[in-house]
Chain A
Amino acid sequence: MLEVKDLHVTVEGSEILKGLSLTVNAGEVHAIMGPNGAGKSTLSAVIAGKDGYEVTSGSITFEGRDVLEMEIEERAQAGLLLGFQYPVEIPGVKNIYLLKAALNAQRVARGEGEIPAPEFMKLVKEKINFMKMDSSFLQRAVNEGFSGGEKKRNEILQMLVLQPKLAMLDEIDSGLDIDAMKVVAQGVNSLRDPERGILIVTHYQRLLDHVEPDVVHVLVDGRIVKSGDKDLALELESRGYDWLVEESAA
């Protein structure tokens, strides 16, 4: 469903992604690992449509549509949703506003009507309970004053309410305590679906113990240098990245 082909991206004049290719099919869970600064977040930012990233060549398509031609909100409405590594605090915008506006935007884009209020409340409550979050979070401003772990849970909550076709999760596991890790992993697992693709960026095996990936990629210096099954992640855990960096430089 998501196809990235030979993607080259520059940020402020320097090339960060240098010919990256990646295909995620419906029903698959992909993990992207790689050293700091390799370009993992850059990839998600480009897919989401953030300003300041210049695609110099290559393409991104989602269900056959040219993603780079779509507006930021159109991408999300089409079901391409990003969970941020550093979720933005939005003072004054209540979580519930964000959820409702986002869900309705998606429905309207699909030609469905807005969700009736009682149905919406039922849905939101079910999901917030699932994420073991207090319902007071709904009335709080998006991420404002949330702890690191709470922010990550909140990202997953949005995923659960919005039910994207392709969920990209950038370091959703960093900064989580053991219990939160389980809750977040459960959240991600509940998203697993034959119709849905999931792309997880992570540094740790910890999350992958709970959420078993179908494919593991290693991103080094703007390129995917190796792909494999879940055992590749275990190998990285014990050997680090150096051998791959050397291999790819060779």
Chain B
Amino acid sequence: MSEEQTFLDALKARESARDVAEPTWVAARRQAASARFEAVGFPTKRNEAWKYTDVRAIARGDFALATDAEFSRASAAALTLPLEALRLTFVDGIFSAPLSDLSELPKGVIIEPLSQALETNHEAVGAVLGRLAGVDFSPFSALNTAFAEEGAVIRFAPGTVVEKPIIIQFLSRAHERPVMSHPRVLIEAGARSEATVLEHYVGEAEAANFTNVVSEALLARGAILTHYKLQEAPLGDLHIASLHVDQGRDSRFTSFNLNLGGGLVRNDIVADLNAEGAEAQYYGLFFAQGRQHVDNHTLVNHNAPHTFSQENYKGILDDRAHGVFNGKVIVKRDSQKIEAHQNNANLLLSDRAEIDTKPELEIYADDVKCSHGATTGQLDEEAVYALRTRGIDEQTARGLLTLAFAGEVMEVVKLDAVAERVELAVAGKLPERFNLAGLVEAAVALGEE
């Protein structure tokens, strides 16, 4: 039996078990997606876009679908970001009402689980869902579309400014037989609306599940959206994600793609700058140890003149971890006066760690400002020396500088709870000899005064 067949069988089983009739468009898309997936199959290393990322751990897996969303409140609380927020929680892909908090939805804001949105007004969802993430984007987007039934639907009416961040929390549980989930996130940001949405992936340490998420964000004229992804999934988790962004005139999209967890991780981010004045900023940080594999593929399409993009990704790799960064910028023929800047810097803490980094610029306009740079290296020895002259031992000095390397991305992060969490996580994950956790706590305490 082919690897794909296991997934197709699981899909059939799910369909015959489904007790409610689905809108016809949903069923039709499911079918088309499954046909697409069957036709292309899982990507192999022969696919250029998957050259460095081996997905056999997924393809050969046998994943169940979760049937409940039980999760103890206490353990959920320990995993939850300490932020005042509007919150949607999914456990292994299944919506958990008790762990969600949507009690005080501000005016002009809709946040609901996809299942509910389909029940109450499926036409409104159908009009936009999948508009940016077609089944031909990747075999995984096809697989997602074939399975998708749950996720988050978020809408901001024009002019709405949402003060609290919106957190979509994905919890992964440890099971005897691992599970898979195929969530969708759909964000429609009306004209001049302003909001922050955070996808948070976290779970029980022993979990080894497969998450395959597709997110779409549509920014109307002048909309400002900050998107965080904080991926702290258990180290056994397999995590595939794509985020597709469509930007109208003068809209501003900022992405923080922060990856600390997961055994096998692939992120795709695609922004289409479709009208003048649209601006996309990508910030990324990945930290991998052991045999973790983290692949970030980003793409910015400058489809209109006077658009702006900027990207800064940093990677820290220890042990035998493998990182991939592929940053692509495409400037269409008549997209004059655009600016696109890209930077990727990586730090290797071990000589068995590996990074594949590739900037790709495809420029078909002539009046543009573009730059890119990639560096992979070690720490600044002069700084190591300066710290040692203060009595700080060499290991701690290197630890501090590693933390500092990550800090350059974290400085831009506006949500303090996220910055602190990541900083503490990086400090805690660095080899114990660095003994940095106490330092970070001191700085956090100082900041809170």
Contact = CB atoms under 8 A, between A and B. Distances in A.
Interface of A: 48-51, 71-73, 75-77, 81-82, 84, 87-88, 90-94, 96-98, 100-102, 104-106, 109, 114, 117, 120-121, 138-139, 141-142, 158, 162
Contacts, number: 111
Contacts of B22: none
A76 B443 contact: no
B393 interface: yes
B383 interface: yes
Interface of B: 380, 382-383, 385-394, 396, 400-401, 403-408, 411, 438-443, 445-447
Nearest to A103: B391
Given A90-B383, A91-B404, A93-B383, A98 B390 contact: yes
A193 B412 CA distance: 44
B390 A76 contact: yes
A117 B441 CA distance: 9
25 contacts: A50-B385, A73-B388, A76-B390, A77-B391, A88-B385, A90-B380, A92-B401, A92-B405, A92-B411, A93-B403, A96-B446, A97-B400, A98-B392, A100-B439, A101-B439, A102-B390, A102-B392, A105-B390, A106-B391, A109-B391, A120-B442, A121-B442, A121-B445, A121-B446, A139-B447
Chain B, interface SS category: helix
Contacts of B382: 88
B389 A48 contact: yes
A138 B446 CA distance: 9
A117 B442 contact: yes
Contacts of A105: 390-393, 396
A96 B441 contact: no
Contact of B400 (A98, A104, A158): A98
A100 B435 CA distance: 12
A46 B137 CA distance: 61
A54 B393 CA distance: 22
A82 B396 CA distance: 19
A138 B408 CA distance: 17
Given A49-B389, A120-B442, A162-B391, 19 more contacts: A48-B389, A50-B385, A73-B391, A75-B389, A76-B391, A81-B390, A88-B382, A90-B401, A92-B401, A92-B404, A92-B406, A92-B407, A93-B383, A94-B443, A96-B446, A98-B392, A101-B390, A105-B390, A105-B393
A18 B354 CA distance: 48
Nearest to A91: B404
A158 B390 contact: yes
Contact of A76 (B389, B407, B442, B447): B389
Contact of B388 (A72, A84, A141): A72
Contacts of A139: 443, 446-447
